[in-house]
Amino acid sequence: MNPTIYWSQNVDQVFLTIDVNDPKGTEIQFNESSMTFDAYTSTKNNDLVNYNFTLDLHESTTHENNVYEMIDHKLQFWLMKKIPGIWPKLIKSDEVPSWLIEDAEKSRQKNSKKSGKTGDKNKPLNFDEKLHREFLEKRNVHEDYPQMYDNLHKQEMGYRKEDLKKVYLVIYNLCQLVAFLYVLVIMTIRYSREGPESMKETYSSVGSIMKFVQILQFLEVMHPMFGYTKGNAFIALLQTSGRAFILFCMIECEPRMQTKPVVFYVFYVWALVEIFRYPYYITQVLNVDIPLLTWLRYTVWIPLYPLGFLFEGIIVLRNIPYFDETNKFTVALPNSWNFAFHFPTFMRLYLLILCIPGMYTMMSHMNKTRAIKIGKKDKRKESDKKLS
């Protein structure tokens, strides 16, 4: 596509203004009697538009004195005539294209403001001193316009090449969603058929998949550390390690706890939280906004988090006499390391020091996040109402 070019002249110079806003990937070439231009820009719909032209000038210019500069987002040129004089026209051809317009006001008004500046600092770039920086760097269109490049790739090839990080995050969150949805469905079906009696078999029916997804959740601690997500690694570690302690240390290691109804309740609460969290994460990775899903993600935790902490606390509390009886994880003196560790005492400290502060930290974090995510939408709605 040919851009609109405004030009004018005096005895010594030719002034050009290329009417393209913020051109990217620009390549400019000058010979004594010709000029070549090539650049890309984007539309409001993020479509990639290529602009190019070649001008065979009416007469020769002094290449080493030609200068250009970006003024008000448009490229403007000063071409120094090799032989002073007024040209009858800009190009050699007798047919003047419609996109080449002689307009002294548009081509020289802003240039004249620049010409009044003094000092080397404000001096336009000289082609001999410094060729166009984008031409030397050979700008990568894919890097300049990643979204538009992907759209063009999809139109031509029938599919869009996704970033490996995005593909990984979608697959991870989708796998976790399917797993927790499976747990929730199995527990619900068993309860609808067998009633409260099904609670005793909760761990034997879905315990294996819960252990698997819980191990996978430790990846969520590393995601923000490696820049895959923007979350807080400490909050992820606090939640993941807390659940892992309950699942592997409190339930897996004590068979008598596995048949308690509280295991059913804690699994059900965990699954309810996750079946809203992981779909929301998928939409965020894909840049899709679903207001209802956002509201559910940052609202269902209000009743479910306290219930989860309550059930986890009950599991720890009821396990204290069991571990006191079996001495599992307890290290007694004398031993070669001269070290003692009483696990039931650690469980009491966990309830006192870790559980309550951990609950406060998690809920404070979620409350702040909810205010940011949902508060922004409420403000937008209010502003839209005022405008309407």
How many CA atoms are closer than 13 Å to the CA of 332, on its beta-carbon side? 5
Does position 272 have pLDDT exceeding 60, yes or no?
yes
Percentage of the chain beyond pLDDT 70 is 81
Q: Which of 168, 182, 228, 305 is catalytic?
A: 305
Of 361, 365, 272, the residue nearest 311 (C-alpha): 272
Does position 310 have pLDDT exceeding 70, yes or no?
yes
pLDDT 10s digits, 189-210: 999 999 999 999 999 999 999 9
pLDDT 10s digits, 103-120: 866 655 444 444 444 344
pLDDT of res. 116: 40
pLDDT of res. 372: 86
Q: Which residues of 72-106 are buried (b: 16+ CB within 10 A; e: fewer)?
A: eebbbbbbebeeeeeeeebbeeeeeeeebbeeeeb
pLDDT of res. 133: 43
pLDDT of res. 3: 87
CA 219 to chain centre: 18
pLDDT of res. 273: 95
**Amino acid at residue number 253:** C
Better-predicted residue by pLDDT, 88 or 355: 88
> Is 298 noted as a catalytic residue in this protein?
no
Residues 283-303 have a mean pLDDT of 92
- Asked if residues 218 and 242 have their Cβ atoms less than 8 Å apart, the reply is no
Q: What number of other Cβ atoms are within 10 A of residue 135's Cβ?
A: 14
> Is 312 noted as a catalytic residue in this protein?
yes
Better-predicted residue by pLDDT, 58 or 247: 247
Segment among 30-44, 354-368, 373-387 with least mean pLDDT: 373-387
pLDDT of res. 158: 62
For helices 202-216 and 164-194, what crossing angle results, to 10°? 170
pLDDT 10s digits, 129-151: 444 444 444 455 555 555 666 66
Radius of gyration of the chain (CA): 34
Of 340, 351, 291, 288, the residue nearest 318 (C-alpha): 351
Q: Which of 68, 274, 312, 350 is catalytic?
A: 312
Of 267, 260, 289, 281, the residue nearest 374 (C-alpha): 289
Residues 264-289 have a mean pLDDT of 95
With a threshold of 0.75, does the pTM exceed it?
no
CA separation for the pair 387, 254 (Å, rounded): 62
Of 282, 283, 251, the residue nearest 267 (C-alpha): 251
pLDDT of res. 375: 73
CA separation for the pair 102, 64 (Å, rounded): 25
Give the contacts of 352 (CB within 8 A, at least 6 positions apart). Answer: none
pLDDT of res. 135: 41
CA 237 to chain centre: 21
Better-predicted residue by pLDDT, 372 or 384: 372
- Asked if residues 282 and 212 have their Cβ atoms less than 8 Å apart, the reply is no
CA 204 vs CA 200, 212, 264: distances in Å: 8, 14, 11
Better-predicted residue by pLDDT, 70 or 310: 310
Q: What number of other Cβ atoms are within 10 A of residue 52's Cβ?
A: 13
Spell out the domains of the chain, with CATH numbers in brackets: 5-157 (2.60.40.790), 164-376 (no CATH)
pLDDT 10s digits, 21-36: 878 777 888 787 888 8
Give me the chain's average pLDDT, please: 83
